[in-house]
Structure 1
Amino acid sequence: MSFGDPNNPYGQPPQQPPAGPGYGYPQQPGAPQQGYGYPAAPPVSQPYGGGYAPTQMPGITRAAQILLAVIAVAHVIIAAVYAVALAQWDELVDEAGISGDVSAEEFADLGKGVIVFFVGLAAVFAILGLVLLLQYAKGGPAVRVCSIVYASFAIVSGIFALGMYGLGLLIWVVSILVIVFAAKRASADWFRRPRY
């Protein structure tokens, strides 16, 4: 038995020419890495900031919920003020003495229609706010997004309430705070938490 016999189990294996860079060779800068075995798995992204899932509503999310209730109550007050104005509308028209003029009565009816629209709009805003408010404990990410959109529209609705005892300014400030608090990461983590 010689060392050159390829069938000799105790012999020296035949020499193969080097295959170039690879295992055991230093990598050249800019040369692609060659891996052996299975490809590397993609990194696992942990939801909720590294495996953290809140079990209690964070304080900032609770504050957003409370401020959302303030916006809803403010819209209930706005609806009540407009409803009182609507109830007194006919008396004000009679006192103005425009009951005989047809064009003036048409404008009065148009004004009454505008007030009815504002009563309905404020009532709808109040109902939507209460629905969102009740969804904070068990709702998902859609509740957070709807809260931000609701507060954005509440800023616009606050324009129509500027003359009501500073209620419009209150709605503006509270709506901006709801947007900021709902956009925070702690609120996002709360609404993305797993619900079993």
Structure 2
Amino acid sequence: MSFGDPNNPYGPPPQGQPGGYGTPQGQPGYGYPQGGQPGQPGYGYPQQPAYPGGPGGGFPTEMPGLLQTARVLLFIVGAVQVIGGLLLAFGGAFIKDASSVAEDSGADLGDDNPFGSVGDLGTAAAGVLVVFALVCLALAVLSIMLGVKFSNGAQGVRITTIVYGAIGGLIGLLGLLGGLGQGAAGTILFYVLWVAISGIWIAAMVTEDGRAWFNRPRY
């Protein structure tokens, strides 16, 4: 047999077949796995979706630090609002009882007073305090609920927090200007803290991490 015979089992394989001299360099032969492009998964492997909206093209799996700070501040403010609401309610009840006792004892406000009696004045003052108490308690519920919803809330929680912080910051600025005009150090300190807290709430919601956290998919 001749080595040039294509049917010769001892001769070299024909060109173009695996292992032959005609096989292009760098190309695997038939039956070998084909190499994909760098950075891409091979055929048959599940591809991971790249969700936009977060650092690196993905969503955060844990609540960012600034959001955690804003959440803690919401809980603290909510607790203070609960205490303030209860104190206002007790104050209204105390004024109501005190005015009733004063009226029974014959106390008189005089003819020039717009209120008919001490009892009427006490009732009006108690009503004002009760209204403020209800407002404080309602805001406390809002603050606490927003903090709770940070875990699984969506865009509604984020937008509500931004609006809440903006209104609170505006009220804080107005109070701060009034305190500066009066020179009251305690009032100034209170409103400075309130403006700072409102700013943290807004900043936590508008940062990239904050947007990504509330945009993340929920399964």
TM-score interval (norm. to shorter): 0.5 to 0.7
- Is it true that 1:183 corresponds to 2:206 in the alignment? yes
Cα displacement (A) at 1:92: 4.1
Percent of matched pairs sharing the same residue: 27
Structure 1, unaligned runs of 5 or more: 1-44
- Is it true that 1:171 corresponds to 2:177 in the alignment? no
Other structure's SS at 1:133 match: helix
Other structure's SS at 2:137 match: helix
> For the Cα contact (< 8 Å) 1:71–1:175, is it kept in 2?
no
- Is it true that 1:83 corresponds to 2:89 in the alignment? yes
Greater alpha carbon shift after TM alignment, 150-159 vs 49-58: 150-159
> For the Cα contact (< 8 Å) 2:109–2:117, is it kept in 1?
no
- Partner amino acid, structure 1, of 2:91: A
| 1:49–1:187 Cα change, 3 Å | same
Cα displacement (A) at 1:143: 0.7
Q: Residue by residue, what CA displacement relative to the aligned partner does 1:99-118 show, whole Å, maximum 9, x if unpaired? A: 79615544432222211110
**What corresponds to 2:152 in structure 1?**
138
The counterpart of 2:73, out of the listed 67, 73, 82, is 67
- Partner amino acid, structure 2, of 1:84: F
Q: Residue by residue, what CA displacement relative to the aligned partner does 1:87-141 show, whole Å, maximum 9, x if unpaired? A: 2112443459347961554443222221111010001000111111111011111
| 1:91–1:172 Cα change, 3 Å | farther
Cα displacement (A) at 1:71: 1.6
- Partner amino acid, structure 2, of 1:140: A
- Is it true that 1:127 corresponds to 2:141 in the alignment? yes
Distance in 1, Cα, partners of 2:137 & 2:151: 23
TM-score (normalised: structure 1): 0.63
The counterpart of 1:48, out of the listed 45, 54, 69, is 54
TM-score (normalised: structure 2): 0.57
Structure 2, unaligned runs of 5 or more: 1-50
Distance in 2, Cα, partners of 1:91 & 1:106: 12
Distance in 2, Cα, partners of 1:129 & 1:143: 11
Q: Residue by residue, what CA displacement relative to the aligned partner does 1:21-46 show, whole Å, maximum 9, x if unpaired? A: xxxxxxxxxxxxxxxxxxxxxxxx93
| 1:183–1:88 Cα change, 3 Å | same
Distance in 2, Cα, partners of 1:137 & 1:68: 13
**What corresponds to 2:216 in structure 1?**
193
| 1:157–1:106 Cα change, 3 Å | farther
| 1:189–1:99 Cα change, 3 Å | same
Other structure's SS at 1:88 match: helix
Number of matched residues? 150
Cα displacement (A) at 1:177: 1.8
> For the Cα contact (< 8 Å) 2:93–2:126, is it kept in 1?
no
**What corresponds to 1:111 in structure 2?**
125
**What corresponds to 2:161 in structure 1?**
147
